[in-house]
Chain A
Amino acid sequence: MGVRQMIEADSLTKEYGNVTAVNRVSFTVTEGELFGLLGPNGSGKTTMIRMLTGQVRPTSGSARVMGLDAAKDPIGVRGLVGIIPEQETPPSFLTAEEYLRFVARIRSLDNVDERCDRWFDLLEFGDKRDVLCKDLSRGTRQKLMFSQAFLHEPRLALIDEPLINLDPIMQRAVKDFLREYVQGGGTVFFSTHILEIAEEICDRIGIIHNGRLLHAGQLEDLVGSGRHLESFFLDLVRGDAGA
């Protein structure tokens, strides 16, 4: 039985007027992998995730996610995967619990009580379940966004800056959860500009700059060659900027 490709990006390109946000990027992510897309601010990471989840149509190229064409069947893709967008907040006037129930209804889930309780317990914010989302701290909102993404137990999660706004204790918990999730057969694609996160938990990384994928490969190959991720990243990006 062959390895299953969860994400297949083929020459993905996105142009906004004269600006090319993502430029002919191709890569694959296989089942059970934790793939980190690294890049400076404005390098095209968020646009890439939006194209992979059908929120933005590519100018050219294609993306298949869990076998579905993201541009042609965005609802199908979003039904299968879990997504945590960057800097997105849950609806202001629902409570944390109501928001999870709202998402559960959209996704037609059963056992909603158990699913909600599990995430309130895991991320330790059950005491905030009846608080309006607008009154939650940023960290708690991020916990809520994390919970909604995994509420339906997806086999693939796409996360834009997964640890943003979380305190060190919760960062540890999330990193542990992601590793366990991948060990249990799940797949994670996430973007970040914080190299330490990638260095700690990723199986494979991609480095993107000015919309172009400069590198994609196993993290252990890099470590095996005796190089630090930070120096490797800086050399690549600075070299690309000077080119």
Chain B
Amino acid sequence: MPVPDLFLAMMKEEWRMHSTIFGSLGFALFPAVVAVFAFLGSLTLPLFADVLPYDAVALLAHILFLLMGVMVGSFGLMGREFMNRRFGQASLVAYASRSLPVSERRIFGAFLVKDTVYYILLYVLPFAAGFAAATPFIGLEPGLGLLAFVSLALAFLFGLSVVCFLSTLYARSVALLAGTAAVLAVLALTVFQLGAITVSAVLPPYAFFLDPKVEPLAISLLLVLVPAAISVLFVTVDYPDRTKRFANSLDPLAERLRALGSAHFIAKDALDLLRSEGGAGKVIFSFLFPLGLVWVCLRVLIRFIPGIDPLVVFSALLGVISATIYNWLTEFDSFTSYAFLPVEVSEVIDAKLKSYGVANLLPLAVLVLAAATSGGAGTFFPALAAFASVSAYTLAVTVYLTGLHPNVMLYHASVFLRYLLAISPALLLSRGRTKWQAWEMPGY
């Protein structure tokens, strides 16, 4: 089966999967919502220009799309789970490798191309179009819209290809992944310690947006193509070839969590997370990795915005990102499996919230670590308050809008719009709060 045919079949499947869930109109409107949001957001840029310069907004947008690439990649590509979960259950094309002579490499290649085209059409193009439509009203060159489309697409693909690369390493060998991660961490730390960290070094697509020359474009393309090519060439998809056996852990774990109530549900959530492919690695991919990027980028961002407290801003973003833990907690449940038992939906959601509370010890530890290493002890408690309130608020919005199905419902145009409208004021409030703290600090 030629790759173009695979690609077309996957595109149709992806569209039909989403449109079946949300209705064709509901899903077709999703890019329109993104475009309108980008247009309206761009119109407000002059209002905030003295606090948030255009360059800083551009950097935030590139970080956002980088993270989207990471999310899309890590969501679909969890090493061995790639074929079983993503393809095996959700995509008929997956069966091509089982019933027809189509190699996994070919399927994976088509999958990458499909994700590239599909999500650029879904996210990047509407965002850039909304921004381009606003440029005449805010005194910017209309050509910036096209430039933004290219550089944001590169940022998205950078995130996607890096995650594909890491997941291929993981599928080959956990030790190889750990070794690579360690080398990258040491390199990053060394560069950071030397003070050689620059915007271009962190995010070449952003550098291309600021200065559209061949060099940053070439670096960006290399950062996209090389990891993607390696991941396709060395992809391996292990079908389950051994039976996993575990002693009963549900009861002992539930016993330890008894004080929380709904302990057996929380214990089940924990076992789902730990035993599903990737184990704790999922958290690294979808949580710690984006957070690390946010932290590094914030260190750059503070150069543009005087008076900002990076720890408090980081803690607010930490709160938003930590709410995605709820997506993981609902990822492995088939809720029809509760429908025939004497359990209320509200009871399951209640247990999920408790699981979320327990899982939030991880972002809390990250916050403590960030405060300790950045010398931000003085603002730790405001940062803690910002983290806790944003995390709780974002979770409440997610649960209210998506119930037990955040992984699919957030793609519904009206749900996503309400989500954005609900979350954005909280972040703005958090930013304003940061400014207030800065003004009150003597000597700032």
A binds B: yes
Picked from A53, A75, A102, A131, the residue with its CB within 8 Å of the CB of B243 is: A131
The answer to whether A55 and B342 touch across the interface, beta carbons within 8 angstroms, is: no
Interface residues of B in 249-283 (CB under 8 A from A): 249-251, 254, 264, 268, 271-272, 275-276
Q: A92-B332, A93-B332, A102-B250 are in contact. Are A132 and B342 (CB under 8 A)?
A: no
The tally of CB-CB contacts under 8 A between chains A and B is 81
Is A240 engaged at the interface, CB distance under 8 Å to the other chain? no
Residues B217-235 near A (CB distance < 8 A): none
Binary contact track A99-128/B, C-beta < 8 Å → 1, others 0: 001110111000000000000000000000
Check B246–A95 contact: CB distance below 8 A.
Answer: yes
Q: Is B341 part of the binding interface, using a Cβ–Cβ cutoff of 8 Å?
A: yes
CB of B342 within 8 A of CB of A106, answer yes
A90 to chain B, nearest CB (A): 7
Which of B245, B271, B337, B339 is A90 in contact with, Cβ under 8 Å?
A: B337
Chain B residue with the shortest CB-CB distance to A98: B250
- Please report which residues of chain A, range 17-51, place their CB below 8 angstroms from some CB of chain B when the two chains form the complex: none
Instruction: Tell me whether chain A's interface is mostly helix, strand or loop, or mixed.
Output: mixed
Is the pair A98, B249 in contact by a Cβ cutoff of 8 Å?
A: yes
Complex partner residue of A105 from B254, B272, B332, CB under 8 angstroms: B254
Complex-state Cα separation, A80 to B426, whole angstroms: 46
Name the contact of A135 in the complex, choosing from B244, B264, B272, B336 (C-beta under 8 A): B244
Does A216 lie at the interface of the complex (its beta carbon under 8 Å from any beta carbon of B)? Answer: no
Map CB proximity to A onto B329-350 as digits: 1 under 8 Å, 0 otherwise.
0001110110111111000000
Which of B243, B250, B272 has the most A CB atoms < 10 Å from its CB?
B250
Report A-chain residues with C-beta under 8 Å of the C-beta of B334: 89, 91-92
A97 sits at the interface (CB 8 A):
yes
Complex: A75 Cα to B344 Cα, angstroms:
7
- A67 interfacial contact with B, CB 8 Å: no
Q: Is the CB of A131 within 8 A of B245?
A: yes
In the complex the two chains form, is A102's CB within 8 Å of B264's CB?
yes
Cβ of A151 to closest chain B Cβ, rounded Å = 11
Sample of 15 further A-B pairs with CB below 8 A, known A88-B337, A94-B271, A131-B244 = A79-B342, A88-B336, A89-B337, A91-B268, A91-B272, A91-B332, A91-B334, A94-B268, A98-B246, A98-B248, A102-B268, A105-B254, A131-B243, A132-B244, A135-B240
Footprint of A on B, CB under 8 Å?
A: 240, 243-251, 254, 264, 268, 271-272, 275-276, 332-334, 336-337, 339-344
Please report A residues at the B interface, Cβ cutoff 8 Å: 53, 55, 75-76, 78-79, 83-85, 88-95, 97-98, 101-103, 105-107, 130-132, 134-135
Q: List 5 A-B contacts (CB under 8 A).
A: A92-B272, A92-B332, A105-B254, A106-B342, A130-B247
